[in-house]
Chain A
């Protein structure tokens, strides 16, 4: 049994930790949140230069190996700074789909672009009515000669506004919620008939509504086998869930540690509030929640790397636990900070917001608890 990081993982962790500490302080982040693009292109170039964008990809695809544990290392550090650069949407989801299902040509065309930092991607899977059911796809793709014609509405597409290429799930056959008959398409965001309404998200990122109206896509842009996309989608969403859960662990660590520090300096009734046992026990609970969260993410990362049938169950166990832990630590951090905790001025509220949104992405705690029980 060995839970220690490899030398490479240790170096990766150190380099991201250094970046977050030196170049990603709270004020810098907030400026980016409110900037036009919503993230720093300069940072993105830096991520490429330092090789971080190669982490999600296998050596065969030109990457650094692409293990789930590597991904976990990266995302946990990003979580400490609540980094908003679109690593999840572009490298984990967009790139992940291409790596999992793409032809050699498609991989050659796109993965290199992602790793070099020149290509932004998004994955448009959710729809207004679909909630957390990946198979509920009303968007249609109709074969028309050498093209497919796509029509539909994709909801809350992370990084949808900045993406050059959007992977769209669409139905090529079957009924709206059939598991068979879903296909993936690489849609150029500038195609005729694509209308994108981009907006900020509650946690400082960006997402978009993507409307497709008779968008003509060459058959060469079909990603993977026609009608067989669901298992690929599930596999990539699993890695996306691992990524945000690892990010949550980083955010939780900062949140509880900052709360403990604050309680030592905030004096009320003549003593630091850290002296009150009622608060001490709650902070001890937060520490326990963080440790439990870290453990379950590690478990899920290892199960994902092993592959096989247990992966889904492990991912749901993780997402369920992370939802509860994130809610508890987020709420308690704000409460113990008092008034300053509910303002925009302090970072603690922004960790809380990110943890809250993480719970809502890719299925709530209830959803994953029920999925865990059913598997």
Chain B
């Protein structure tokens, strides 16, 4: 048992630091530093830079363009990226549909879709949830009826994150009759968003930003060749995808950076003539979160180590989802508390790069409440934390 970095790993860490220092575009670094809003171009620009270096697809097998990194290297990478605030990977293409395509797609599909994901030429979104199928995803009702060489898709998908930018959507659809057992009549389809019959309507989040959408399908014709794997096996593929969705969700590296940020801001915040960080009640809350995070970091390392020996991430990844979101949400609460009165103003426009008006509040204080409100989603999405506990009960505890 050893958690120290080897000489090679330390050299890799240095290489990563140099790369980030040289290649992260200045305007993106500035946005990260000031907590400004990232735009679509920021994500795409950065992903293309990574693709050029061969570092875009951290978790893919080498044969498809993955890095082939060890779990330690991946750990180093995510920590260093978080430190400089590099834009995260938009997961829908890279982390969600890609593993399904290289895992279950045919050669033709791999050739057709994977390079554009790797190079961020195509923006993907996810068509899973429906208005009446949330936690109970298997009750989805969007239908795909076979008509010659095509499926005709009808229904509504919801919570489609950043779907307003998407070129393609991957969908779970019902291909069997309604009498079929729920999960055995579901297929996995890739759909071009430009296909006639698709409309996208915005849903505004509590921070008043357009982050998610409803996607409506009205007799949308999809070639059968866009189906991944066998008809009726979509649920099996989707389950693999959902486990992948859960591993990145611990967000340990980001939480570590965020907690450092809380400490720094609280040290600079006056509380009755002393730094807020010296207020024992506040310091205690920071320490408790830090301890919780330390435990989670080692839980994540254990999971990564297991994955690197060839095991698929199992139900343990539910721990990462639950604790990761609870800790991150706790940090959001602290940030807001540090901001105090200056968490109250709603000044969304202040966090656009081209804002040139009068700045209100210290640093990004006015961004703390919208972040807190928005991140309440994290314990709801990706399988709500309640669903994660059900998984633990069923798959681990045998209840």
Contact = CB atoms under 8 A, between A and B. Distances in A.
Contacts of A177: 272-273
Contact of B271 (A131, A199, A207): A131
B337 interface: yes
Contacts of B374: 342
A344 interface: yes
Nearest to A363: B340
A341 B212 CA distance: 13
A202 B346 contact: yes
Given A200-B346, A339-B134, A344 B341 contact: no
B384 A338 contact: yes
B282 interface: yes
The interface centre, meaning the residue of A133, A269, A339, A353 with most chain B CB atoms within 10 A of its CB, is A339
Interface string A188-226: 000000000101111100010100000000000000000
A174 to B, nearest CB: 14
A103 B279 CA distance: 40
B172 to A, nearest CB: 16
Contacts of B340: 131-132, 360, 364
A278 B386 contact: yes
B136 interface: yes
Contact of A360 (B204, B276, B336): B336
A353 B136 CA distance: 28
B356 to A, nearest CB: 14
B124 interface: no
B158 A339 contact: yes
Give chain B's interface secondary structure class: mixed
A199 B346 contact: yes
Q: B interface, how many residues as a size bin?
A: 35 or more
B347 A199 contact: yes
A360 B386 contact: no
B277 to A, nearest CB: 13
A135 B279 CA distance: 18
B344 A345 contact: no
Give chain A's interface secondary structure class: mixed
A335 B376 contact: yes
A131 B136 contact: no
A280 interface: no
A126 B339 CA distance: 13
Interface string B262-306: 000000011111001001011001000000000000000000000
Interface in B370-394: 370, 372-374, 376-377, 379-381, 384-386, 389
Interface in B136-176: 136, 139, 158-159
B343 interface: yes
The interface centre, meaning the residue of B208, B342, B361 with most chain A CB atoms within 10 A of its CB, is B342
Nearest to A369: B281
B135 A156 contact: no
A207 B345 contact: yes
Given A334-B376, A344-B206, A366-B279, A360 B344 contact: yes
Contacts of B377: 339, 342
Contact of A269 (B136, B204, B336): B136
A111 B93 CA distance: 63
B73 to A, nearest CB: 35
A343 B206 contact: yes
Interface in A322-375: 327, 331, 334-335, 338-339, 341-345, 349, 352-353, 356-357, 360-361, 364, 366, 369-370
A129 B270 contact: yes
A335 B360 contact: no
B344 A349 contact: no
A31 to B, nearest CB: 15
A269 B385 CA distance: 16
A268 interface: yes
B129 interface: yes
A138 B271 CA distance: 15
B203 interface: yes
A353 B343 contact: no
Given A342-B206, A352-B373, A207 B344 contact: yes
B396 interface: no
Contacts of B270: 129-131, 136
A335 B380 contact: yes
A252 to B, nearest CB: 17
A131 B376 contact: no
Given A202-B343, A357-B344, A366-B279, 16 more contacts: A131-B269, A132-B340, A199-B360, A202-B373, A209-B358, A269-B135, A269-B136, A339-B134, A341-B376, A342-B380, A344-B204, A356-B369, A356-B373, A357-B343, A360-B337, A370-B279
Interface of B: 129, 132, 134-136, 139, 158-159, 203-206, 208, 212, 269-273, 276, 279, 281-282, 285, 333, 336-337, 339-347, 358, 360-362, 369-370, 372-374, 376-377, 379-381, 384-386, 389
17 contacts: A128-B342, A128-B361, A128-B362, A131-B271, A156-B345, A197-B358, A207-B344, A268-B139, A269-B139, A338-B134, A339-B159, A342-B380, A344-B206, A353-B369, A360-B344, A361-B341, A366-B281
The 6 closest A-B pairs by CB, nearest first: A268-B136, A344-B204, A156-B341, A200-B346, A366-B281, A202-B369
